[in-house]
Structure formats: C-alpha cells, structure tokens
C-alpha cells in the first residue's frame, strides 16, 4: 500500500489504518492510497466489513490546512466520502483522539461510527473562516438534527464521545482496544446482514425540522458573528440540508466553501492558526526542560488570584502567599467565589471545584515557597517593591526554581540584575482576568537561561495559554503597542470626535468594544496612576479621574452607567468637559471621519509593531498578531495588526502616517523603516 495507509485483515473484516503523523491530516499523500484501498476492499468479495482507523494519537484531525490556497489534487475529500458512502458492505469509523473537520466528514461517510470513551468529535472549520467542505453541513444534521448540527458547526467546539453517542452521531462508545471492538462490531453487523443505510439517505427526521425555531437559533448565532462571514455561511448550509435535496445541498455547500477558502477572512484565520503554533517555537531545539511540580504565587489580588487559578486549572498545586492572613483569606475567598460562579453557570462541576480548591495552599511565610519549582510574583507594580520580593526569594527559592515577575511594564533586566541568579529570572505577563485570557507574554531577559525559557513555554501550553516570547522594553509588545494606539485618543476628542464615535469606529472595524468603553470597563484610575508615575497627563481622562469618574465601577466614566447597568450611555457632562478643555486650548471642533479615527489609532499601532520587530523585541511579525488577537481582541477575521497591514496596503499606511506626521509632528507617526520596507517588498522579513 503506502507508508501512510495500510490495510490489515482480521478474518473477513478489513482494517484500513491511516498513519500520517502528527494528526493524521488528510493530505494528498493520504487521500490517494486511501481511495485505492477503499476501491479494492469494496470489490473484494472476501471482505464482509471495512473499519477505518488511525495510528498515533488521534483519528483524522481534518483536511491538511497547508494545502488550502493551492490547486486541489484529486482525489479530494468529497470524492473519497462519495466512494466510501456508496460501498454496500458495512463501513465503520473507529474514532480515538479528535475526529475534526474533514476527519469527522470521513467518518460521516461510513455507515457507523464507534468511538473511544475519551474521543472528541467536531467541525471546527468556522475557526479557520471556513465551513465543513466535505459534506459535514449536509450529513451531520441527518444524524443529530438540524439545530444540534447548527450549534456544533457554528461554534466549532468539539463534543465528547458520550454526547455524540447520545445525539446519534456515534453508534457505540468503547473502553480498551478500540480497533478490536470496531472489528467485532463490524463482523456482528455484517452477520446480521443489511441493507445498511448511508447517512445521506437518513433524512426522515430532518424533514420534520421546525424551520422557524431553526431560523431563530441561527439569527441569535448570527448576532455574535461580528462581521465574520463563515458563521453565516455555516448556518445557511445547514439550512440547505433541511430544505434542499441532498445533492443540491452538497453542491451549495461546495460553492460556499470555494468562496470562503479564497476570502481574506479565512486567509487571516488560517494565518493565526499557524502563527499561534509558531509563536511557541524557540530557536534552540531539544532543550531539557526543568521539572515543574509545584507553583508559588506571591500576591493574592486580582492578578495573583487569577494566575494562581490558571495554574490550578492546569492541574498544578499552588502555594499562594500574601503579606497577612486577612489579605490571604480575601484572595482565597475571591478564588472560591470565582469557581462558584463557574459551577452556577454549569461550566464546572462541584467536584471539579473541590479538586481545584484542593490544589491551593495559602501562606504568609516566604519559607513555604521553598518547595516551589516556579514562583510568580504579582505584587504592586513598583520597582522597589518587586526588588524587595526578589531579594526575599533569593533566600528561600530552591536552586533551579524559576523566578517570574508578572510586571506589565517594568524593566525585567533590572529586576534580574538585583538577584544573584539572573539565569532563573523571566517575565510571565498574564492578562486580566489571568484565569480566562489566553495570552501569556513570556519575557526573556538578557540573562534568562534557555532551559528556563523552554520550561515556561511548555508550561504555558499545559495550562492552556497561548505563549508569545517577547523581549524587554517598556510594555513589551502588547502594552507598548496599546500606548501607540491610544496616543491620539485625547487629541481626537479635543478636535471634535465623541467617545461614542471613536468606539463605534472600533466596533465597526470588528473590535469587541472601543477604547473608551474598554477604559470604563478596566477602570480609568489604572491609566491615571500609570500616567502620574511617568509624569504624563491626559487632560480629559485626568479630569474625569479627579472627579472620581473611574468608569463602570463608579457608575460614571467616559459614559454613564445608570443603576449599575453595564450599558454605556453618552453623558452630556463629558461632552461639555471636552468642549471646555478644547476651547481652553483654542481648538475649534470639526467633523472627524471614522477613516481618520482608524488612521490615527490603528496605523500607529502597526507602526509601533514594525519598530518592535526592528528592535527584535518580537521574533516574528506573526507573533505580534498572536499577541493582539489573544490579548486585546483584535478581530480574527483581519488576522492581527501586521497581517491586516498587508490587507489594508502598507503603502497607503505609510502615506497616511507621513500625512499625520507632517500635520502634527508627533513621533508616533514617524514611519518605521521596516514598515517602509514592507510597503516596498510586501514582506515583514527584515531581509527579503
């Protein structure tokens, strides 16, 4: 056969084994021998049943995403599924690991599906800006019903084997030797005799679908699409499965797929898929990582508590240290409350909550950190305080323990230099809420040991974080670019734009919310404190803070939040304040377009990203995209700021930055040489 597809015989049952590490993607070098094997087994009268299984850690995890955008090599997945589905003898997919995308579509071409108890099944194509293009939107509804299929396909979230079994997607769930169970299942089925109904013909229930209920569900889901085309296409294709004959629905699915796969949004989302994996790769390979069994967290406030939860959620015992019992109890109480909220929402069982809480050991004594292999400090954002903490860690941390700071801005080289073990020091910059936000900026200081870095990059994956390794500068990658994005906010207000207008320009772009609504959510006092520490001012935001208007938490910020509502309402008082401050500065208000708002916020964001790349603070342009999508809500359909710069046109960005630089003289508009280069070459690589 081939290195990628083998056929074993167990009596009259043939077992097709796909072996294409690491995830058995349906690459062309798999599809060709697979098709050949299916045709031969179909025509072999000594074969009573056919099992399709996979070697390695998972059933087929999808089409080969690297093949998209290239000419399709036949046979494609649809041809394989059509051939498979036309086989009269019983066909059984034996699913372990994750049957995803084209993998599940292959399994849907079988008469039966059996799964390992730990298996997961899903159609995550929507996360790549696609829809299942191998018949998934037409076959899945025939097994689980249109509304259930709609939820699975539009969310892209896999379901467990037990749920799949209950829904009718899987015919049996087994523990132990799955292939042996599948063979026996097939032999038994063959012995009983057919005919065996292919999925395409199982549409009796589908015809009973309550289309009004379906459309209502689809409309709700569409509201969350936020400008993404794929979720809408997914819903339409599932609806076609209900209203159109099978082959017409299949053809319509194909047409939708062809359109999406060529779209900028899908290119952007596929870029991010690989970018996230690239970001976790370090230059040095095969480094022996340090053992991490127990984690210490210093500080049980918002960040410290969230960080402690992130590790506990990842299965690590945590020692949580505070300066006194009251602060410690307060912190542990907040953690308990957070888990209780998850239980009330049904996202965590009571038992899981107990297990998570059992991971925590509280202390007010640094000596209790002696058995920790990683210690993360999340104390007050002040260099002297941080140095004092690291000084005390020197005395108690075991040799080889990694000492991490959660600082957002401070110079980690300076912190490391204050210790006798700079090789063990690095930054773990979590984003609030740390137990929820995926992004983790891992800050390598000048003397951070390669094995320490490799250890925390691996650890990040284990606790479900998206890690990006960054260098030391003020604000690292994310916050440094955030400052650039916000540098013109006050000027835009003083010149005539309202907070609502600026926020609207952002949400129209695809951001979950605009900068002023975000400021009110996070608390305006945080920025106020940072500005005072750096001797900076922002006349509007400072005045609001002086009036005690910190945002949602005080019921007033840039907006009003009436009666504890979280809905921002424009406040005439803020409008008047802006007008007064503008007239004090002799600025006459003028109409400001959404286009100007984007040019004076997102173009400086891109420009700062180019500077960060030039300085080597980020290793790749795609790392910066990963930071912004996972840490700040940059719209996935635009691929991150630097990917979007390619879509927007770097030459135009350069031209507009030059315009605003001439008009304002502000350094934030001074075009970075690498951005100039990108405009000329179309590549962010320093040397093309």
133 binds ligand T1G (CB under 6 A): yes
Closer to ligand T1G at the Cβ: 266 or 517? 266
Q: Interior CA angle at 509 toward 507 and 511, to 5°? A: 50
Pairwise CA distance, residues 221 & 225, whole Å: 7
Active-site residue among 85, 125, 488, 495?
125
User: With contact defined as beta carbons under 8 Å apart, do 584 and 429 qualify?
Assistant: no
Tokens of 65: 């995403």
Q: What is the nearest approach in angstroms of ligand T1G to the Cβ of residue 65?
A: 4
Residue 655 is a catalytic residue: no
> DSSP assignment of 178-201, as one string?
HHHHHHHHHHHHHHH------GGG
Query: Is 130 near ligand T1G (CB under 6 A)?
Result: yes
Question: Half-sphere exposure of 136 toward its Cβ, with a 13 Å CA cutoff?
Answer: 36
**Contact range with ligand T1G by CB under 6 A, out of 33-41, 127-135, 389-397, 672-680:** 127-135
**At its nearest, how many Å lie between ligand T1G and the CB of residue 683?**
21
Helix or strand (DSSP H, E) at 543? helix 539-546
Residue 571 makes contact with ligand T1G by CB under 6 A: no
| Shortest Å distance, C-beta 137 to ligand T1G | 9
Q: Which is nearer to ligand T1G, 278 or 382 (CB)?
A: 278
Contact 366, 395 (CB under 8 A): yes
Of residues 116, 125, 373, 503, which one binds ligand T1G by CB under 6 A?
A: 125
Is 631 one of the binding residues for ligand T1G (CB under 6 A)?
no
In the complex, what is the shortest distance from the CB of residue 256 to ligand T1G, in angstroms, rounded to a whole number?
A: 11
Least Å distance between CB 19 and ligand T1G?
14
Asked if 75 touches ligand T1G (CB under 6 A), the answer is no
User: Nearest approach, Cβ of 49 to ligand T1G (angstroms)?
Assistant: 26
Which tokens go with 413? 């080289």
Strand (E) or helix (H) holding 559: strand 559-560
Stretch that binds ligand T1G, among 32-40, 88-96, 121-129, 173-181 (CB under 6 A): 121-129
Backbone angles phi, psi at 158, to 5 degrees: -65, 155
The DSSP string of 358-409 is HTEEEES-GGGGTT-SEEEE---S-HHHHHHHHHHHHHHSPTT-EEEE--SS
| Least spacing, CB of residue 617 vs ligand T1G, in Å | 23
- Binding to ligand T1G in span 13-52, by CB under 6 A: 22-23, 25
Q: How far apart are CA 595 and CA 615, in angstroms?
A: 29
66 binds ligand T1G (CB under 6 A): yes
* Residue 548: φ, ψ to 5°: 75, 15
Nearest residue (CB) to ligand T1G, 98 versus 265: 98
State which of positions 233-292 bind ligand T1G (CB under 6 A).
Answer: 274, 277
Do 668 and 484 contact (CB within 8 A), yes or no?
A: yes
Which of 147, 144, 123 is closest to 133 using CA atoms? 123
Q: Which is nearer to ligand T1G, 234 or 657 (CB)?
A: 234
Q: How far is the CB of 355 from ligand T1G (least distance, A)?
A: 23
Out of 17, 64, 84, 405, the only residue in the binding site for ligand T1G (CB under 6 A) is 64
- CA distance to 92, 364, 544, 553, 639, per residue, from 140 (Å): 16, 55, 54, 46, 29
Tell me the closest approach of the beta carbon of residue 61 to ligand T1G, in angstroms: 4
Catalytic residue among 40, 67, 105, 655: 105
Region of 35-43, 120-128, 348-356, 386-394 interacting with ligand T1G (CB under 6 A) = 120-128
CB of 79 to ligand T1G, least distance (A): 12
Does 107 bind ligand T1G (CB under 6 A)? Our answer is no
> Which region, judged by CB under 6 A, interacts with ligand T1G, from 99-107, 527-535, 613-621, 648-656?
99-107
Instruction: Name the residue nearer to ligand T1G (CB basis): 105 or 525.
Output: 105
CA gap 585, 583 in Å, rounded: 5
- Joined together, the tokens standing for residue 201 give 């013909």
Q: Which is nearer to ligand T1G, 152 or 577 (CB)?
A: 152
171: nearest Cα among 158, 182, 180: 182
SS3 label, residue 113: strand
Among 30, 96, 99, 105, binds ligand T1G (CB under 6 A): 105
Is residue 230 within 8 Å of 126, Cβ to Cβ? yes
Nearer Cβ to ligand T1G (64/322): 64
Rounded Cα gap, residues 457 and 403, in angstroms: 14
Strand 5-10 with 559-560, pairing: unpaired
Q: Is 134 in the site for ligand T1G (CB under 6 A)?
A: yes
Of 20, 53, 84, 98, which one interacts with ligand T1G (CB under 6 A)? 98
Tokens of 612: 């960060």
Q: Tell me the C-alpha distance between 330 and 318, whole Å.
A: 16
| Cα angle value 396/401/407 (rounded, 5°) | 90
Decide: is 124 part of the binding site for ligand T1G (CB under 6 A).
Answer: yes
467 near ligand T1G (CB under 6 A):
no
Task: Identify whether the C-beta of residue 270 lies closer than 8 Å to the C-beta of residue 65.
Answer: yes
The closest alpha carbon to 469, from 415, 416, 426, 410, belongs to 426
Reading the block at residue 454, the tokens are 């490799």
Restricting to residues 480-509, name those near ligand T1G by CB under 6 A. none
Smallest separation (angstroms) from ligand T1G to the CB of 388: 39
C-alpha to C-alpha distance for 651 and 283, rounded to whole angstroms: 32
Under rule CB under 6 A, residue 208 binds ligand T1G: no
Give yes or no for residue 314 binding ligand T1G (CB under 6 A).
no
Nearer to ligand T1G, 38 or 560 (CB): 38
Query: Considering only residues 128, 466, 482, 626, which one is a binding residue for ligand T1G as defined by CB under 6 A?
Result: 128
| Ranges of H-type helices in 397-514 | 412-417, 450-462, 478-486, 489-494, 499-509
What number of chain residues touch ligand T1G (CB under 6 A)? 25
Residue 653, both tokens: 């960005």
Q: Would you count residue 63 as binding ligand T1G (CB under 6 A)?
A: yes
- From the list 64-72, 488-496, 535-543, 570-578, the region that binds ligand T1G by CB under 6 A is 64-72
Q: Positive or negative CA dihedral for 385, 387, 388, 389? A: positive
**Shortest Å, Cβ 296 to ligand T1G:** 27
Establish whether 105 is a catalytic residue: yes
Identify the residue among 109, 132, 198, 314 touching ligand T1G (CB under 6 A): 132
Residues with active-site annotation: 105, 125
Interacting residue ranges for ligand T1G, rule: CB under 6 A: 22-23, 25, 61-66, 77, 98, 100-102, 105, 124-125, 128, 130, 132-134, 136, 274, 277
């Amino acid at each position: 056969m081939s290195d990628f597809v083998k056929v074993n015989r167990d009596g009259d049952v043939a077992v097709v084994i796909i072996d294409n590490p690491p995830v058995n993607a349906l690459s062309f070098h798999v599809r060709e021998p697979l098709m050949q094997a299916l045709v031969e087994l179909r025509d072999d009268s000594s074969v009573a049943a056919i099992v399709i299984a996979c070697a390695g850690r998972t059933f087929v995890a999808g089409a080969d995403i690297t093949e998209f955008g290239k000419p399709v090599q036949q046979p494609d997945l649809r041809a394989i599924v059509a051939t498979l589905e036309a086989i009269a003898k019983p066909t059984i997919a034996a699913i372990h690991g994750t049957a995803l995308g084209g993998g599940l579509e292959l399994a849907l071409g079988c008469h039966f599906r059996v799964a390992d108890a730990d298996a997961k099944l899903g159609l995550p194509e929507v996360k790549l800006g696609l829809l299942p293009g191998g018949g998934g939107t037409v076959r899945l509804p025939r097994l689980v019903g249109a509304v259930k299929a709609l939820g699975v396909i539009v969310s892209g979230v896999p379901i467990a084997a037990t749920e799949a079994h209950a829904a009718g997607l899987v015919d049996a769930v087994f523990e132990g030797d799955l292939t042996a169970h599948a063979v026996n299942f097939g032999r038994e089925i063959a012995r009983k005799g057919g005919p065996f109904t292919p999925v395409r013909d199982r549409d009796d229930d589908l015809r009973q679908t309550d289309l009004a209920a379906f459309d209502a569900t689809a409309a709700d889901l569409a509201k969350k699409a936020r400008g993404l085309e794929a979720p809408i296409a997914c819903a339409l294709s599932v609806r076609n499965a209900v209203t159109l004959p099978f082959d017409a629905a299949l053809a319509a699915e194909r047409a939708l797929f062809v359109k999406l796969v060529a779209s900028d949004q899908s290119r952007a989302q596929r870029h991010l898929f690989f970018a996230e994996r690239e970001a976790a790769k370090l230059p040095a390979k095969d480094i022996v990582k340090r053992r991490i069994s127990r984690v210490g967290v210093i500080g049980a406030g918002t960040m410290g508590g969230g960080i402690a939860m992130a590790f506990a959620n990842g299965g690590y015992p945590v020692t949580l240290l505070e300066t006194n019992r009251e602060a410690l109890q307060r912190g542990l109480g907040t953690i308990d409350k957070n888990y209780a909220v998850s239980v009330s929402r049904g996202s965590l069982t009571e038992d899981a909550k107990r297990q998570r809480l059992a991971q925590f050991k509280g202390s007010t004594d640094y000596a209790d950190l002696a058995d920790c292999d990683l210690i993360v400090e999340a104390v007050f954002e002040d260099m002297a305080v941080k140095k004092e903490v690291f000084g005390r860690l020197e005395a108690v941390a075991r040799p080889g323990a990694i000492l991490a700071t959660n600082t957002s801005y401070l110079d980690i080289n300076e912190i490391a230099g204050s210790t006798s073990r700079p090789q063990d020091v690095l930054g773990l910059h979590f984003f609030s809420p740390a137990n929820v936000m995926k992004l983790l900026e891992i800050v390598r200081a000048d003397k951070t040991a390669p094995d320490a870095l490799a250890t925390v990059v691996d650890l990040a994956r284990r606790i479900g974080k998206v890690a990006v390794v960054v260098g030391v500068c003020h604000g690292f990658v994310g916050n440094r670019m955030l400052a650039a994005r916000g540098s013109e906010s006050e000027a835009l207000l003083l010149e005539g734009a309202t907070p609502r207008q600026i926020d609207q320009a952002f949400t129209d772009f695809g951001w979950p919310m605009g900068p002023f609504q975000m400021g009110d959510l996070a608390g305006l006092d945080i920025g106020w404190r940072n500005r005072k520490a750096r001797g900076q001012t922002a006349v509007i935001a400072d005045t609001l803070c002086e009036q005690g208007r910190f945002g949602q938490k005080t019921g007033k910020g840039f907006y009003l939040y009436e009666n504890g509502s979280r809905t921002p309402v424009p406040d005439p008082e803020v409008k008047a304040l802006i007008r007064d401050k503008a007239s004090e500065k002799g600025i006459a208000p003028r109409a400001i377009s959404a286009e100007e708002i984007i040019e004076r916020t997102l173009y400086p964001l891109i420009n700062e990203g180019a500077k960060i790349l030039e300085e080597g603070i980020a290793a790749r342009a795609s790392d910066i995209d990963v930071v912004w999508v996972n840490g700040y809500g940059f719209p996935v359909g635009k691929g991150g700021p630097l990917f979007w710069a390619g879509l927007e046109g770097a030459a135009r960005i350069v031209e507009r930055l030059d315009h605003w630089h001439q008009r304002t003289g502000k350094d934030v508009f001074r075009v970075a040489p690498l951005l100039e280069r990108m405009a000329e070459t179309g590549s962010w690589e320093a040397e093309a």
